[in-house]
Amino acid sequence: MAAVRSSCRGATLTVVRPLSLKSIFGGKSKQPTEQNKIILDQDNLFHKLSQSPIAELRDRGAIINKYGVCPVCDTECQGHKKPPVFECPDCGYPTHCSSEHYHEGKAAHQEICGILREQNEDDHDLRSGRAMKEFEFPSAQGFDEAVNMANWDIFFYTRAFPSMDSSRSIRHVSKLLTYPVTVASVLHESCPYKLGKEITPEGMRSLAALRTILYPRDIAKENTAPARTEMINLYVIGARAEATLPPHIWLQMAYLFPHTPFHIHFVGPDALPANKEPHTTSLNERLMFTYDNSLYHDYHEKIEKFDPYTDLFFLFSPGIGHPSARETWKPSIQKALETKCAIFLTGFDHADMANDIEAVEQDYSGEFDWIMKPTENEFRSMKRDINLMDLRQTIFANWGIWGIRGKHYDVTHQPEDDE
């Protein structure tokens, strides 16, 4: 687990984000077999965590018991505060230290009880052993197939995903795909963000440069796929959960740009487990990955050159405005700005995003241009993450998105492009 902290609304918010999604979405088959039978029926998904048939969820309850907070103790008790061991009968989470405090704080708890109930059932569903049809993702698309990136629903439909017949399925899939599809939505020709609204003139210049590689004109004329050597380098700085996605999940981004290979650089102290060495691996000729647990300003020195036509940066909920992280982030942000490449950042809510923006505006005043105004991300996760240390705090991964770029970069028009 890793804590993502943001100072907002006069208080410090600590949200615990899981670093690994492999335990849920890894390579093991979710189809029921003789060894992997259905554990829970769809009408039997709700269980108190301490009584769950799933060991992982029982462990989750134990973590809350040990490290969580009783909200009544937190607001009313000046002395010893007791951990939450009483499980709400409606959501199944250990929410208060006792039955008495549960009933005393029940009115306030109702604000999140439904959210926790939904999370409880979703997490049991993921581990129920049923055939997870919603995870049978489409493979490569034809060169003449159009995909619309307006929002999740239209993307799923035009990309020919399995029918999402419930909001639960959408939550499951959006949680898994929010990282690669958020990147793709910005780069795609049917980007949901428009010039003059979210995208600034400087932003359109940056995107136009990248799309020169992603949508080469000779292919548009000939409707063929000639061999190309240009590769898009995506630098994911401060990588955490996004670095633990099974590599094939990132293919869903690559499939949307069938002419262009990608090299994704996951860089940051949490990009690798402690016992793993930095390494580069390739899934196929379309997708290469580098994992490195260096701080980005150290990794930066390993790159020979940067090109705004082929390189861009993504920082997923970096928390760069938090006092404990701000100084650590400064040299990395400075190095990224010096490349003059597009830098996109996300936040888990409006306050988190505003806190990072304020830090950037103060620390790098006059050194950057806006390329994308802060806005709600159409491809945010629809499934909430819950802080096990304080159940009152919930977030949506990649709720908002914004973008900047180092100043003084011009996209030079080449006359031969018109030929």
- Does position 13 have pLDDT exceeding 70, yes or no? no
Mean pLDDT of 40-57: 95
**Percentage, residues of the chain above pLDDT 70:** 85
Using alpha carbons, list the distances in angstroms from residue 395 to 59, 115, 123, 351, 398: 21, 11, 16, 11, 9
| Mean pLDDT of the 346-363 span | 96
pLDDT at 95: 97
Q: How far is CA 381 from CA 25, 168, 173, 327, in A?
A: 15, 12, 8, 29
Q: How far apart are CA 5 and CA 387, in angstroms?
A: 11
Q: Are 124 and 58 in contact (CB under 8 A)?
A: no
For residue 370, give the nearest of 411, 342, 398 by alpha carbon.
342
**187, pLDDT greater than 60:** yes
Q: Which residues contact 76 (CB under 8 A, 6 or more apart)?
A: none
Residue 15: per-residue pLDDT:
37
pLDDT digits 0-9 by tens, 161-176: 998 889 999 999 999 9
For residue 18, pLDDT over 70 is answered with no
Res. 99 pLDDT band, cuts 50 70 90 = very high
CA–CA dist 284, 266 (Å, integer): 17
Mean pLDDT, range 267-295, rounded to an integer: 93
pLDDT at residue 42 above 70?
A: yes
Cα Rg of the chain (Å, integer): 23
- 39 touches 127 (CB < 8 A): yes
CB 291, CB 247: distance < 8 Å: no
pLDDT of residue 22: 42
- Which band of pLDDT confidence, cut at 50, 70 and 90, is reported for residue 396? very high
If pLDDT is split at 50, 70 and 90, which confidence band does 219 have? Answer: very low
pLDDT (tens digit, 9 = 90+) per residue, 290-340? 999 999 999 999 999 999 999 999 999 999 999 999 999 999 999 999 999
Task: Kindly report the average pLDDT of the chain as a whole number.
Answer: 87
Residue 243 in contact with residue 270, Cβ under 8 Å? yes
Least confidently predicted of 74-78, 180-184, 210-214, 308-312: 74-78
Using CA atoms, how far residue 281 sits from 285, 287, 362, in Å, is 11, 9, 38
pLDDT at 415 over 70: no
**Looking at residue 218, what is its pLDDT?**
52
Neighbours of 199 (CB within 10 A): 22
